[in-house]
Amino acid sequence: MCPLYPVHFILMYAFVLLPIWLICSSAQSISASKPEPSRTVQFYPERIDKLVEGTSQVVSWTIPKHWNASEMLAPVLLQPEVDNLQIADVSSVDTVYLNRASDKNFSFTVNAKFLGRTFVRVSPVGLKDDSFGDILEISVIRRDTVLDKIFLYSVVTLVSLAYINMGCSLDLKVVWDTIRRPVGPAVGISCQYLCMPLLAFGLSQLFLTSSPSLQLGLFVTGCSPGGGASNIWTVLLNGNLNLSITLTFVSTVLALALMPAWIFSLGRVIFNRAKLIIPYKNIIYMIVALLVPVSIGVAIRKKCPGLADGLVKLTRPFSLLLIVYIFTFGIYANVYVFYLITLDVILSSVCLIWFGFAFGYCVARFLGFSTEDIIAISIETGIQNTGVAILLLKLSLPQPDADMTFVIPIMAATAMPIPLTMVWCTMKVRQWVSVKSSTDLGVTGVTDTVPEDGKAYENGGSTHTKSSSNGSYVAIGTQDDSAAAGV
């Protein structure tokens, strides 16, 4: 008997199977080493960048010789197809059949129709085979007009003047007193620069998955500092004006570091998806430029307080002028924005602003702030400086992305006053009903704007109240009473 019994049976099978396994492995490696014939269409040019609306460009393309469909019963027609026909289309297309084509150039003409990005792919008609052809990327830009330049330069001027006015309205002593009690400012800034960027990024991934450019517009809007209109709405809704002004000022200063930090970190995801290079220098220059007009305003307040008081009186009408200007001449000069408005754009922009209001309110309410502070924190969280977002996007991004992202700040600015106006109207109706009821009962001397405890603001502001000639109360703590008057 074999001394290896019964192991010798296993060894015998191994010796028989080993050569077979080696032969099969060699055949597999040889077949894998042979490259499959390329089925890639070659386009000339390889991509089309910044094709102006209304213009055309001829594109040549070739197919390899080994492409054939001789095994098919009928010839296979190859045809260029545009992904988005609203942006571009093709014409003057050469007729090419796969099993009849020789190795030569074919051509078609790309016609630019509307702002945006799309691509062309050569596909077999009637066959579901995505392996046919490569992609020709196309970007279409608008034709530069004089109105575009006027609008851009005027927005730069108006935003600069608005920041000068904000600097003039600052009482650094009041700001410092507010910061010395840092709970209110810390909560407001946290809501502004933690909640809003993350909320904007999440909404962009939820609603705007098909357009990285619009995602970028929403994200930059969410990273923007608080707007000057927040101070006006805080006054109208009887909030803590000193806390509001402090939050606006601090958020503007912190924007120098926090906006680039968000854009260069989380924003990199969107930039990579959009195949854009982050414009580091442009963003830094733009953010630094915001501090210049604020510094000028602070200097005017220190050197020429009379002039500063006069400029502060113009804060409310000037802010309204900026909003009206953007919604009138801005839309007239950029009428293409209407064609970019979709349900997803509306939902993402509205949710960003309204959820910001709600988040600021809930956080401040949960932490036990006074009603006046809750109003200020909620408004500062929801209101974004869309002027800064517009300038940053317009001056930093290449075309057509700069123009495409413009629609997001416009929609966000449209959504901001809607809930605040509703709250203000509700307050006015309740006050009117209260006054009317008091009048019917024969009660006189009712004041409708002072809190029950007689204090205007707590937890973050040093503002007090005083009685005015008409029996109402106004907030004191800035250099101009008229800028803080309620309604």
Domain residue spans of the chain: 42-141, 146-428+452-476
Alpha carbons 419 and 379: distance in angstroms, whole number: 10
Instruction: State the burial class of residue 130 (Cβ atoms within 10 Å of its Cβ: 0-12, 13-18, 19+).
Output: exposed
SS3 38: coil
Q: What is the CATH number of domain 42-141?
A: 2.60.40.1080
Asked if residue 473 lies in contact with residue 449, where contact means CB atoms within 8 angstroms, the answer is yes
Q: Answer whether residue 324 shows pLDDT above 70.
A: yes
- Specify the pLDDT at position 157: 82
The band of 65, judged by pLDDT with boundaries at 50, 70 and 90, is low
Strands across the sheet with 77-82, in order?
47-52, 135-141, 116-124, 77-82, 96-97
Beta bridge partners of 475: 465
Q: What is the pLDDT of residues 363-381, one digit of tens each?
A: 999 999 999 999 999 999 9
Q: Answer whether residue 261 shows pLDDT above 90.
A: no
- Specify the pLDDT at position 2: 53
SS3 289: helix
The band of 420, judged by pLDDT with boundaries at 50, 70 and 90, is very high
Asked if residue 208 lies in contact with residue 214, where contact means CB atoms within 8 angstroms, the answer is yes
Pick from 369, 388, 385: nearest CA to 377: 369
- Specify the pLDDT at position 102: 54
Give the predicted TM-score (pTM) of the model: 0.71
Alpha carbons 317 and 137: distance in angstroms, whole number: 46
DSSP string, 220-282: HHHHS-B-THHHHHHHHTT--HHHHHHHHHHHHHHHHHHHHHHHHTTHHHHHHHTT----HHH
- Specify the pLDDT at position 278: 65
Alpha carbons 197 and 359: distance in angstroms, whole number: 13
The band of 466, judged by pLDDT with boundaries at 50, 70 and 90, is very low
Q: What is the CATH number of domain 146-428+452-476?
A: 1.20.1530.20
Cα 405-410-415 angle, rounded to 5 deg:
130
Alpha carbons 403 and 93: distance in angstroms, whole number: 31
Q: Answer whether residue 15 shows pLDDT above 60.
A: no
For 53, residues 6+ apart whose C-beta sits below 8 A from its C-beta are 112, 113, 114, 115, 140, 141, 142, 143
Q: Higher pLDDT residue, 77 or 240?
A: 240
- Specify the pLDDT at position 101: 53
Q: Higher pLDDT residue, 278 or 239?
A: 239
Residues 334-338 have a mean pLDDT of 82
- Specify the pLDDT at position 447: 46
Q: Answer whether residue 334 shows pLDDT above 90.
A: no
Residues 403-421 have a mean pLDDT of 89
Instruction: Give how far Cα 285 sits from Cα of 164, 323, 392, Å.
Output: 18, 25, 10
Alpha carbons 247 and 166: distance in angstroms, whole number: 12
